[in-house]
């Protein structure tokens, strides 16, 4: 799917602006409140911000609700978000984590129940995305996007015969050109799938095997990345990396050689949803923002820019048909059947995985070299120290003789 | 002692500052280092668990020692030359040394990434000449380069300050008494600049050993440093207890290293005392 930016920008801008301002002007009544700030915490590069002529979601929202000032912040992994929220539970009014993290947050009683009276646009959400497994009563979350994780590779450098599945990430031919997820959950999922296990397993033996698999891969990996992957793949600094299908659609616009693979061994199928933390200061405003995001016109334009898949069919009519027909954003049922959603691990499972991930990151096969270097350095230090001590004595002795 | 006591209130702001932002946080670090991440009970497991990461500590120390030595070797002649210039030129050169510090540290490191990458500026020039690209980035050398580049001003400035304060008459006296140029340097100038060398080494080594960004950007998956691991424990893995224990051990190691430096140099200073 290649969108020619030059041609579609003016049209898209006009359309988007007209539609959004129309819907904003007529369907929303500004709330009566003093200027409040709404603290939104979302993934990096995960909202349309007005570049390339697409809708600027935050600016449009602020125009529709002049009393609300959006304070937008980003995170690069669910775990970072969790840590921040745990340290300062009242810092954010709206967060957009993924499925398994929502389950974990709900289990730890960190989420507020949504007031769906303030979110009438929830009616547009497709039946398939209501009552998801991670929030069966649909109390805490409203879907933002969904998508799949797959392998993005550069067809100019990577031989098609090698593109068989996850094992591509272990192919020594491409040593130094392979990227890998920089968070334990996603990285272990890749290793577990390659080994033929479920990505929700907590079996310590399987996790150990996955750890070995990741250590084996480490020397081939250029670096562990999250959003830096965009830059590295687009410029050809790296050739292979696992990432989200939606981001692939953004990257391929910059570099036509990039291709996407749904590995047959299975892949992660995710839903990212809007939630409100229990201690949020501006719950009502956050619900208005969620409602705004669900507006089919806003949702369609926003997600066309993001490349991720929409959870509401009504939004598709506001999108470029080329996007909605893309087999990567909306794979067929046969492909989707290989997907598996993350479930929240137990605290013990999480801790074990974090520890093993640290083992992967710190593993070292050149231990001996460092021991030799350090011993040499210590001997050198002691030697210097002795040298100065002896010299001092000699000088003192000499001084004595001069007297 | 008595003479100063009337003015002791002048140090109150600093003591309050220290208490609030150094002593109390240090206590929190110690508290975290000795408690369990899940149950919050007292434990030594964080500290003993660090043994698994001994190689990371060794690597950090080795890389930063190398960077410090290179900084000293490059920085000393520069500081010496600046100190020997006319006052006007001195001020200008000093400004030039500090100029890179005006730019964000992250930006400067990213600039090196853009230069050294496989598809970076240097390798693009090399490949356009028809040669094979060089592996400039993602090795220990690149990490040391990044550290030297970023911390060199911290070595030059204290050295320059001390060298420029050396009384020129001492040098003249040494020459009058028949010292050769080399002898004057080793017998007079070098010993007198030891305090500058010590503060230079401290100011380069301490930030270098705990650095975390440079190794992520310029290093490979095999050059992870303590700073990276500590950062990840606080940021993603949510195990601040292990992170705190690592910080504590790192702090102790830094104190030991500074102690060794002071010991070696302290002897030297004593020798110079008449």
3-class DSSP state of A38: strand
Residue B47 covered by a domain? no
Length of chain A: 403
Cβ(A81)–Cβ(B236) under 8 Å? no
Q: Provide CB contacts within 8 A for B122, sequence distance 6+.
A: B115, B116, B134, B136
Chain B touched by A393 (CB under 8 Å): no
pLDDT category of residue A165 using cuts at 50, 70 and 90: very high
Range A175-204 average pLDDT = 94
The Cα A251–Cα A260 span in angstroms is 11
Give the tens place of pLDDT for each residue, B134-175: 889 988 899 999 999 999 999 999 999 999 999 989 989 998
Best of A361, A372, A390 to mutate (most B CBs within 10 Å, chain B):
A361
Residue B20 covered by a domain? no
pLDDT surpassing 90 at residue A387: no
Same topology for domains A5-144+269-327 and A147-268+353-362, yes or no? yes
Tell me, what's the pLDDT at A385? Answer: 77
Residue B191 covered by a domain? yes
The label of the residue with tokens 């749904």 reads A262
CATH number at residue B64: 1.10.3720.10
Q: Provide CB contacts within 8 A for A283, sequence distance 6+.
A: A93, A112, A115, A276
What is the residue extent of each domain of chain A?
5-144+269-327, 147-268+353-362
Which range marks the domain in which residue B132 is found?
53-272
Number of domains in chain B: 1
How high is the mean pLDDT of chain A? Answer: 86
CB atoms near residue A386 (< 10 Å):
11
**B264 and A80 in contact by Cβ < 8 A?**
no
pLDDT surpassing 80 at residue B89: yes
Residue B104 covered by a domain? yes
- What percentage of chain B reaches a pLDDT higher than 70? 93
Q: Which of A117-131, A174-188, B158-172, B222-236 has the lowest mean pLDDT?
A: B222-236
Higher per-residue confidence, B258 vs B28: B28
CB-nearest partner of B263 from A351, A377, A385: A385
- What percentage of chain B reaches a pLDDT higher than 90? 49
**B237 and A392 in contact by Cβ < 8 A?**
no
pLDDT category of residue A365 using cuts at 50, 70 and 90: low
Sign of CA dihedral A369, A371, A372, A378: positive
The label of the residue with tokens 């002048």 reads B10
Mind spelling out the 3-state secondary structure of A352-383?
HHHHHHHHHHHCCCCHHHHHHHHHHHHHHHHH
pLDDT category of residue A24 using cuts at 50, 70 and 90: very low
Give the tens place of pLDDT for each residue, A34-43: 688 999 999 9
CA B263 to chain centre: 18
The Cα B1–Cα B81 span in angstroms is 40
Global confidence as pTM: 0.83
Tell me, what's the pLDDT at A34? Answer: 63
Give the tens place of pLDDT for each residue, A58-76: 999 999 999 999 999 999 8
Dihedral angle, C-alpha A234, A236, A242, A244, nearest 10 °: 10
Higher per-residue confidence, B220 vs A3: B220
Tokens of A72: 């937008």
Tell me, what's the pLDDT at A19? Answer: 43
CB-nearest partner of A347 from B38, B52, B232: B38
Residue B127 covered by a domain? yes
Give the tens place of pLDDT for each residue, B169-215: 998 999 899 888 888 888 889 889 988 998 999 999 999 999 988 99
Q: DSSP per residue over chain B, as a string? A: -HHHHTTGGGGHHHHHHHIIIIIHHHHHHHHHHTB-TTT--B-SHHHHHGGGGHHHHHHHHHHHHHHHHHHHHHHHHHHHHHHTS-HHHHHHHHHHHHGGGGS-HHHHHHHHHHHHSTTSHHHHHHHHTTPPPP--SSSHHHHHHHHHHHHHHHHHHHHHHHHHHS-HHHHHHHHHTT--HHHHIIIIIHHHTHHHHHHHHHHHHHHHHT--HHHHHHS-TT---HHHHHHHHHHTS--HHHHHHHHHHHHHHHHHHHHHHHHHHHHHHHHH--
3-class DSSP state of A43: strand
With beta carbons under 8 A apart, name residues in chain A contacting B237: 79, 184, 354, 357-358
Residue B177 covered by a domain? yes
Give the tens place of pLDDT for each residue, A289-303: 999 999 999 999 999
pLDDT category of residue A20 using cuts at 50, 70 and 90: very low
**A361 and B232 in contact by Cβ < 8 A?**
yes
Cross-strand pairs, A223? A179
Tell me, what's the pLDDT at B265? Answer: 67
Cross-strand pairs, A274? A142
Fold (topology level) of A147-268+353-362: D-Maltodextrin-Binding Protein; domain 2 (3.40.190)
Give the tens place of pLDDT for each residue, B65-82: 899 999 999 999 999 999
Range B220-229 average pLDDT = 89
Give the tens place of pLDDT for each residue, A79-126: 889 989 988 999 999 999 999 999 999 999 999 999 999 999 999 999
With beta carbons under 8 A apart, name residues in chain A contacting B260: 381, 385
pLDDT surpassing 90 at residue A191: yes
Q: State the nearest Cα–Cα gap between B271 and chain A, in angstroms.
A: 6
Q: State the nearest Cα–Cα gap between B160 and chain A, in angstroms.
A: 25
Residue B251 covered by a domain? yes
The Cα A170–Cα A173 span in angstroms is 9
What is Dmax (Cα atoms) for chain B? 76
Residue B37 covered by a domain? no
How high is the mean pLDDT of chain B? Answer: 87
Tell me, what's the pLDDT at A27? Answer: 47
With vertex at residue B18, the alpha carbon angle to CA B12 and CA B20, rounded to the nearest 5 degrees, is 100
The Cα A118–Cα A284 span in angstroms is 7
Tell me, what's the pLDDT at A366? Answer: 60
Tell me, what's the pLDDT at A13? Answer: 42
CB-nearest partner of A384 from B118, B224, B264: B264
Cβ(A300)–Cβ(A317) under 8 Å? yes
pLDDT category of residue B273 using cuts at 50, 70 and 90: very low
Range A219-241 average pLDDT = 93
Length of chain B: 274
Q: Provide CB contacts within 8 A for B250, sequence distance 6+.
A: B57, B60, B209, B210, B226, B230
CB-nearest partner of A83 from B62, B238, B264: B238
Residue from A7, A98, A85, A115 nearest A53 by CA: A7
Best of B132, B186, B238 to mutate (most A CBs within 10 Å, chain A):
B238
**B234 and A83 in contact by Cβ < 8 A?**
yes
Tell me, what's the pLDDT at A401? Answer: 60
Please give the helix or strand (H or E) that residue A261 lies within, else none: strand A258-261
Prediction ipTM score:
0.83
pLDDT surpassing 70 at residue A12: no
Fold (topology level) of A5-144+269-327: D-Maltodextrin-Binding Protein; domain 2 (3.40.190)
């Amino acid at each position: 799917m290649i969108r020619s930016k030059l041609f579609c920008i003016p049209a898209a801008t006009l359309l988007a602006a007209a539609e959004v301002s129309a819907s904003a002007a007529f369907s929303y009544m500004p709330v009566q409140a003093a200027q409040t700030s709404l603290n939104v915490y979302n993934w990096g590069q995960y909202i349309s911000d007005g570049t390339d002529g697409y809708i600027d979601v935050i600016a449009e929202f602020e125009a529709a609700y002049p009393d609300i000032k959006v304070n937008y912040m980003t995170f690069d992994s669910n775990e970072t978000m969790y840590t921040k929220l745990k340290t300062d539970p009242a810092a954010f009014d709206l967060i957009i984590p993924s499925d398994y993290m929502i389950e974990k947050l709900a289990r730890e009683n960190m989420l507020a129940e949504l007031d769906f009276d303030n979110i009438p646009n929830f009616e547009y959400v497709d039946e398939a995305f209501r009552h998801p497994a991670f929030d069966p009563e649909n109390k805490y979350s409203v879907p933002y996007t969904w998508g799949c994780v797959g392998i993005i590779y550069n067809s100019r450098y990577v031989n098609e015969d090698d593109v068989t599945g996850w094992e591509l990430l272990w192919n020594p031919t491409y040593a130094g050109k392979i990227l890998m997820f920089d968070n334990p959950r996603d990285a272990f999922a890749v290793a577990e799938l390659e080994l033929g296990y479920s990505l929700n397993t907590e079996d310590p033996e399987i996790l150990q095997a996955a750890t070995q698999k990741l250590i084996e891969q480490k020397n081939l990996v250029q670096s562990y990345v999250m959003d830096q992957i965009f830059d590295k793949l687009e410029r050809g600094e790296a050739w292979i990396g696992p990432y989200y299908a939606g981001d692939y659609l953004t990257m391929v616009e910059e570099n036509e050689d990039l291709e996407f693979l749904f590995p047959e061994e299975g892949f992660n199928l995710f839903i990212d949803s809007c939630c409100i933390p229990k201690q949020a200061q501006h719950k009502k405003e956050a619900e208005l923002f969620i409602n705004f995001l669900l507006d089919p016109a806003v949702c369609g334009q926003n997600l066309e820019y993001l490349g991720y898949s929409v959870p509401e069919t009504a939004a598709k009519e506001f999108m470029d048909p080329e996007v909605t027909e893309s087999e990567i954003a909306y794979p067929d049922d046969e492909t989707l059947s290989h997907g598996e959603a993350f479930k929240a691990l137990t605290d013990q499972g999480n801790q074990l995985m974090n520890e093993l991930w640290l083992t992967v990151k710190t593993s070292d096969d050149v231990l001996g070299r460092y021991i030799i270097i350090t011993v040499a350095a210590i001997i050198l230090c002691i030697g210097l120290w002795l040298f100065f001590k002896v010299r001092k004595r000699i000088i003192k002795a000499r001084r004595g003789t001069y007297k | 002692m008595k003479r100063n006591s009337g003015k002791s209130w002048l140090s109150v702001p600093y003591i309050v500052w220290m208490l609030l932002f150094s002593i109390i946080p240090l206590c929190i670090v110690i508290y975290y280092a000795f408690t369990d991440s899940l149950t919050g009970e007292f434990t030594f497991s964080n500290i003993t668990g660090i043994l698994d990461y001994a190689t990371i500590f060794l690597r950090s120390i080795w890389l930063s020692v190398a960077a410090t030595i290179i900084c000293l070797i490059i920085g000393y002649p520069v500081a010496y030359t600046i100190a020997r210039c006319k006052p006007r030129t001195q001020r200008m050169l000093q400004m030039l040394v500090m100029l890179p510090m005006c730019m964000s540290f992250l930006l400067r490191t990213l600039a090196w990434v853009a230069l050294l990458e496989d598809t970076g500026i240097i390798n693009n020039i090399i490949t356009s000449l028809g040669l094979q690209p060089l592996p400039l980035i993602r090795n220990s050398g690149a990490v040391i380069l990044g550290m030297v580049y970023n911390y060199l001003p911290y070595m030059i400035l204290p050295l320059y300050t001390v060298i420029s304060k050396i009384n020129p008459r001492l040098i003249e006296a040494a020459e009058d008494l028949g010292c050769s140029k080399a002898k004057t340097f080793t017998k007079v100038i070098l010993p007198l600049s030891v305090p500058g060398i010590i503060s230079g080494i401290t100011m380069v080594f301490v930030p270098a050993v705990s650095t975390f960004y440079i190794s992520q950007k310029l290093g490979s998956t095999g050059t992870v440093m303590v700073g990276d691991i500590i950062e990840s424990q606080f940021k993603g893995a949510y195990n601040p207890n292990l992170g705190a224990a690592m910080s504590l051990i790192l702090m102790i190691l830094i104190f030991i290293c500074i102690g060794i430096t002071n010991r070696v140099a302290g002897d030297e200073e004593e020798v110079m005392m008449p």
